[in-house]
Structure formats: structure tokens, C-alpha cells
Structure 1
Amino acid sequence: MAEVVHADLLEQILLRSEVKDLIRFKSVCKSWHSVITSSGFINRHLNRSYNKDRHNYEIGHRRIRLTDGSGSYTLVGSSNGLVCIISYLRIGEVLVGNPLTRELRQLPLSTIDLPSCRGFGYDSSTDDYTVLVGAKNGKNRTCVQVLSLKSNEWKVIGEVMYTFMTADGVFCNGALHWIVRDQNSKRVIISYDLSKEQFKEIPQPEGEGCLPRFSWSSLGIMKECLCIIENSNFGDVWMMKKYNVKQSWELLPRHREIIYTIVHSFSIHKDEIFFDFRSKSSWDWDYVFRVFIMAPIFVKSLVSP
């Protein structure tokens, strides 16, 4: 009985530790290594990290960016501590890694050389991660492929009758989202549900001057809600407070308070992924809102690609 209590107490202590410390703790002894590397512990630590950041209003959400000055890589997205990167050094190469554990996995080459749309997200129904890439195939037509990390194989979803106006899919409510142009050249928001493997249009806000400026807008996430951010100084910001409900779109006030956010940065050198630094920002709210609200949210975790 004493051993059980001791094991429970040990896990509670380890759950409160940072990832960098847990990596070192794995070398302490076999029992510690067994606890830290177990799937149950990794999931509980991830949930604790997520909830800790989620309710810490002093730092807001943590964002992540790729600091690759050569332009050889682009960040596709981040989910549960994993980041997805497309390499321009090798056509069709997609990488998934954890910057904290420095694990990096190269996925099979996609037949789509230079994707015009891309996305990365977590499917809770299958406990799996999905990478999506698409390429323009004629007027207002895009060919789409997806890969799940468990299958490790690219699968052709088919063609969607849209031209993607934003390249990177924004992950929200189990789906990826983009601004696109349909067959009638109308700009709309579409989603790709990871569990259902289906595209559908998302109801968009109604208001004077909203749609005409869609071509200059991007999507982002704030307080776990999908947002439309106009890419201009002091531009309008729309928030969908209840997912997929047209009436829940709200135009936020122009005069906003200054926020504080954490920005994580990482880089890749010689097939290794590194966590470079963390910077706390208190810049002009409009700048932070337009730039970092569109960057993926990063959660510290032990999740392996």
C-alpha cells in the first residue's frame, strides 16, 4: 500500500514539472522513466499544461513562430505541443516535430509539390493528427490530400470547387478553416472536419463593410473562438462566439486594451528541431492582435510525433 501511495505522490510531483525537467528526470531511474514515458502520464501532463495556460490571464495564450531566416521552411500549424512544417529544400517534404523534446519526424513525400493550402490539427475521435495539403487544379478548383500520423500514408480527398485565399488552415472546434473564393467568385469561409473528413461552408457575419474587405482579411483564434481579422491598421475584428452559429458573430470594439502574450520561437538546423527562446510582449494591441492572434497556439508537452 505504501508503494502505491508513493507512486501516486511521485506522479503528482512529476505532473507539475516542466518538460525540460522531465526529459532530465527520465535518466534518474527505470521507474521514473517508466512513469514519464507512459501514454497516460503524457496525456495528463498535456491536459495540465493546457489548463494552466488557458486560465492564466497574465500571459494570455502562448503563440509559436518559426525563426528560419533562410525561408527554407514554413510553419503549417501546431497542436498539443507538436508543430508541422513544410520544407522548401525538398519538394513535397512535410515534417512534424516537438521543439521541446527535439523529436522530428519526416513524413512520406506528398505528390503535391507546392501546396496552395495546408493545415494541421488533432482529431480527438481517433486520437490522431492530420496533415492537409492542397494545390490549385484549374479555375476555382483545388485538389486535396490528407495524411494521418497513425496511417503515415497520403490519401486523396478529391477536388473542392474553391480557390484558397488564405494558405494556412486555422484549427478550431475539430476543424481547419480558410477564406476561399467559390465558383461565383464570392468569398466565403470553409471548414474541413478532421473526424468526418468533410468540407463545408461556415456562416459568415453580416454587417456594413464586412464582406467587401474579406480579400484583405485573415482568420485567427481568440479565446478559443474563430475570428476574422482585417489586415490593416485598426481594422475590424469579428468573433464567432458560438461555433457555426451565424447570429453569434460579433464586431469587436475598435479601442481595445493592451494584452500580454507569450511568443515561443523555434528553428530547424541539420534535421534537428530546437526551441530558441521565449519572449513576453506588451506591444501595441492592434499589432499583437493582427500578427500573433493568427499564429498557432503552442502548449508545452511530451507528445511524440
Structure 2
Amino acid sequence: MKIGVIMGGISSERDISLKSGESMVKYLKDGKYEAVPIVIDKKEDILNKINGIDFALLALHGQFGEDGTVQAVLQTLGVPYSGCDPLSSALCMDKDLTKKILKASGIRTADWYNVKSAEEIDYEKINKMGYPIVIKPNSGGSSVATFIVQKKEEVLRAVEEGLKWDKEVMIEEYIKGDEITCPVVDGELYPTLAIKPNAEFFDYTAKYADGGADEFIVELEEKLKIEVEKMALDCWKALKCSVYARVDIIIRNGIPYVLEINTLPGMTKNSLFPKSAAGIGISFTRLLEIIVEKSLKVRA
């Protein structure tokens, strides 16, 4: 089977996508599939460069890749692809819609509201949340243009910066606590990882630089473990995920809050998903093969 590893793209996360894609090609070649890199530089490339492949393994991140657009094109063309479908991808990419669905499903998440312009900033709402707050692009990823804002005077600049990257910006209650992530494959939980960034939060550098964060499998206290695992699987079901996704959670004073759901989590050598899989004896190559196999069953 000839697998095209789709990478690059046009989003702010292009560089990370290229790293993910290069890793996936490298490790897939150690297994049973023929893997070829397909670099997307502009939108029409998804039509022009996929001829002759039997399966599309998506290493794209951000808009036009993680938001359901590419998935819809591949589905229309009859090319089976990895990961979640267009609907689930779009929902999880839009942080505001994700949180609305979580709230409607009774899944705990931090308070928030969105703005589309600086004029929509409501300082009364912010005061009710209390400083610090988090300001970030609504549909961004990899913590690009994400700020922890300590005081009123910093709000406008953070919102304006976020609007350079997206049409909407989220203003969110800051939950200070211990960050964990729960990888899910086909509705089954893989080992939970604790994330200890060597910075104020799990920012771009902490995510992708060597030594940027300590990430390790963690065994939670039994009651908390049960709640976290149920929360992760409830997210998976509520957002209609398929094949694989990663649920990011933060725990404050023993109470877990969902941060977001990643439908195309990073797959570099520093990425969380391969580290979790390794904890149950699954190599990176085998993890990629499992993703291909599970995707083919869903897309058959």
C-alpha cells in the first residue's frame, strides 16, 4: 500500500507539520507500508499532488488541515485518510464551539467568551473571571499568539495580536494547575501523561524544543483517575471523534478541567502521543500502523 504523508500546509503551524510529517515518513518506512512525503504549499496542492496514493496519512496542523477542510476534500475524492472526519475536526478546531459542546454535555471547562474585534472586549466580564486570564486565537494551535494576561492594561495588545492570526480571539479564565494529556485511540485510552513545562505554561518552545518540558506517564490517585478517564472518553463521544485524538486537561486542587481536544496531535520525536504509546510497548512505527488500520476500517 502506498501511503502519502500529507504535511506542510498554509497555517502558522507549517513548520511543526513538516517535522511531524518527516518523522512519520521515516518511521513508516521501518514497517510494512511504502511511505511518500507530500508537501502542501498552497490549497490546490491537495488536488494536484495526491495522485497514485492509496491512503492519506495527515500530518497537517492548524487551519486547512486540522479544521476538516482537507478531510472533506479527500472524502469527496474517495481517498481514505487518517483521523477524525470533517465534522469532528471542524468542531475541535473551533475552541468556542468545543467548549459550548462540552458545557452542554456537562463536561467541566474554564469560563470564557470570544471577541471578533477590540471593540467587543468586555472588561466587566473579565473582572468577573479575575486576572490573570488567557487570551488566544480561537482556532489556533501550538500555543501561537497565546498570552497569560495579568492586568487590564495588557488585554488590548493581546487581543490585537490574536486577531492577526485569527478572526476570533478567546478570552478565557486562567486555570493554574497540573497539566495532563489523555491520548485516545478508537475509543480506548492510552497512558495519561503529565506535562511539566520549564516555562510559565506549555507554550510553543516547551512543546517542541528539546528540554522544553518534562513529559512522563503518570498514575493518578484512583478517584481522580476515574474522573479524568471518564472526562476524556466523554469528550471523545460528545465531539464525535474517530480513530485517534488527544484530550488535554488541567487539574486545579484535585478538580480536572478540559483545555482542548487535538484531532491531529503532533507526531515529532518530542510529541506526546508516541511517548504515551511507548508506555504500553507500542513503537512509533506500530502506532502509525495502528492509525492507518483503524482509519481504513472507518473509511472503508
Question: TM-score range with shorter-chain normalisation?
Answer: under 0.3
TM-score by length of 1: 0.27
Larger relative helix fraction: 2
Structure showing greater radius of gyration is 1
**Greater fraction of residues in strand:** 1
